[in-house]
A and B are shown apart, each in its own frame.
Chain A
Amino acid sequence: MSIKILLYIAGRAVKGLLVLLVIAVFNFFLIRAAPGDPAQVMAGEAGATDEVFLQQLREQFGLDQPLYYQLWVYINNMLHFDMGITYRQQMPVFDLIMDRMPATLLLTGAAFVLSLLLGVLAGVVAAAKHRKWPDSAITVAALVFYATPLFWLAMMASLLFSVYLDWLPSFGMQTVGEDFAGWDKVRDIGIHLVLPAATLGLFFTAVYARMTRTSMIETSRLDFVKTAKAKGMKPSRVLYRHVLRNALLPVVTLAGLQAGQLIGGAVLTETVFAWPGIGRLMFDALFQRDYNLLLGVFFISSAMVVLFNLITDVIYCVVDPRIEL
């Protein structure tokens, strides 16, 4: 049994690595498909006029060598976490991304937990009050937030809560000029986190709420629920012990698949709130036309999704023994 699980997980890991390899090859050809000299494309707007830097890039990636050799060098570099250097920051791309990673993990993690809790709660309330006003209110709210562009919602939230009400900061991750330590620092980051995490999470809250509601209503029509009711079980107990537990499965499956979308959303939220994560880094790379950095962020965020999917697989195996391997 446990060997079977280990084998399964190993298989998934190999698959994930293969996906990353394909993405690396894709990146390699993408740079060469772009108009212009690859070195200049990689160097970006700022570095493209610096001949020394261009030469450095050509040597590092073997750009004067045949294509297959270049591909080999590129993949080999990637295996050593070497993605080149960004001109502007004069820093290895990989180090720069890793520098920004904790902020993004904090933001997406907070948004994920928040949206799952709120969404499931809203879905349960809507299903429990099916066809009464709370159901309609939640359904309408979910529909609206599902249709609202994330970046716009972020801007409107910062306008309302930061500019007009002045309750929450809307810029950065920590108060500029203050040097907090210990709990003060945690509190400071926490306050800065509220708006970005809430706006990033709101779209997914809507998704989970709709899904939980539908799933609950469908599950509550199944035979085992009727049996439980017929036995004279208290309705609230039927709802939580029987319906919710079974209705949650598709929601959790969906949540596991949403990692990629969260990362994409983080690009927008981090841009609006100047949150110092990899999404903001991606925007800066766009702005400076620093394609080496851009592709680096793309690759690492894909790697994050692969890793996250792997973790979900492991959790599944542990939580639900019924899952077929």
Chain B
Amino acid sequence: MNIIKTLSQNKVAMVGFAVLVMLILVAVLGPYVYEGTPWKMVQRPFIPPFENSSYLLGTDILGRDVLAGLIYGTRISLLVSFVSTVIALLIGIPLGAYAGYFGGWVDEVLMRFTEIFQTVPSFALAIVLVAIFEPSVYSITGAIALVSWPPVARLVRGEFLRLRNQEYVLAAKLNGQSNRNIILKEILPNSLSPIIVLASLMVATAILLESSLAFLGLGDPEIMSWGYMIGSSRTVIRQAWWLSFIPGVAIAVTVLALNLLGEGLNDALNPKLSGKRES
């Protein structure tokens, strides 16, 4: 309760939260308001924004409705970034937990493994994975998850190293609780707050990754996305700058909202670390 109260007093974080809620509403309800597909050619191409009242943001190179594209793009951006973050957490948390809890050679092996993934240039790896397994929602989500988990593993490992010798953990051990129980029920709940903060920032990074892949032509060919909209209007930037400008603003606003919320969460959950409290 206290956390929610602190968070709700943080105006900047609340702005981020409000924007995010709005975007989720757009993603969920948008397609019901805007029926049909964003691929349909509805009018002549290159109508500038605010000129035609039925196509508020104008039309693109092929006469498709830009606003419809934006709405459907919200959906895929949020979906891919949330799901890939969840998968990355599902990889990173167990790895980090085992490494930190057991230590010794388990830690050594798991951390060497993590290091390899950390060394490899992650965007290049994502490109290679999506290209070879053919661009689809699944390959894109999987690739983003696969390049995003190492920081989770490192963070969780650190938390487990810190907490594994605390008295309540030792008490649980003496009680004869199984390792699995101690990891899941004793230590993990106590290391959740930094994981939540990291996850909110990971969603933001995932949105940037997804849009960058789509920009390079590695988007799902069936699905309209912000990155694709920018990439496909790159060649006409001199005639119609707004076609690349508008989706870029959408990406920046979304990522910014997530970052603000993430920082607010960080301040609320780790007041000692925030650096904003004193002086």
Measuring CB to CB, which residues of chain A are less than 8 angstroms from any residue of chain B?
16, 19, 22-23, 30-31, 33-35, 41, 130, 143-144, 146-152, 155-156, 158-159, 163, 214, 217-218, 221, 257, 259-261, 263-265, 267-268, 271-272, 282-283, 286-287, 289, 291, 294-295, 297-298, 301-302, 305-306, 309
Contacts and interface: CB of A to CB of B under 8 A. Distances in A.
Interface string B200-243: 00001000100110011110000000010010001001100100
B275 A152 contact: no
Given A34-B132, A297-B124, 18 more contacts: A30-B132, A144-B252, A147-B253, A151-B215, A155-B244, A218-B275, A260-B119, A260-B120, A260-B121, A261-B121, A264-B124, A265-B123, A282-B124, A286-B216, A291-B131, A294-B131, A294-B132, A305-B121
Contacts of B124: 260, 263-264, 267, 282, 297-298, 301-302
Contacts of A152: 230, 244, 248, 251-252
A196 to B, nearest CB: 15
B116 A217 contact: no
Nearest to B263: A143
A312 B102 CA distance: 31
Contacts of A41: 132
Contacts of B259: 143, 146-147
B121 A151 contact: no
Contacts of B211: 149
B226 to A, nearest CB: 9
Interface centre among B212, B238, B253 (most CB of A within 10 A): B212
Given A30-B128, A268-B215, A149 B120 contact: no
A289 B217 CA distance: 12
A126 to B, nearest CB: 12
A264 B121 contact: yes
Contacts of B252: 144, 147-149, 152
B119 A302 contact: yes
Contacts of A150: 208, 212
B241 A264 contact: no
A264 B143 CA distance: 14
Contacts of B8: none
B122 A260 contact: yes
B71 interface: no
B110 interface: no
A26 B255 CA distance: 32
A158 B234 CA distance: 11
B114 to A, nearest CB: 12
16 contacts: A23-B116, A130-B279, A144-B252, A150-B212, A152-B252, A155-B234, A155-B237, A159-B238, A221-B278, A257-B118, A263-B123, A267-B127, A287-B217, A298-B121, A305-B121, A309-B119
B131 A156 contact: no
B115 interface: yes
Given A156-B245, A282-B124, A22 B132 contact: no
Contacts of A217: 275
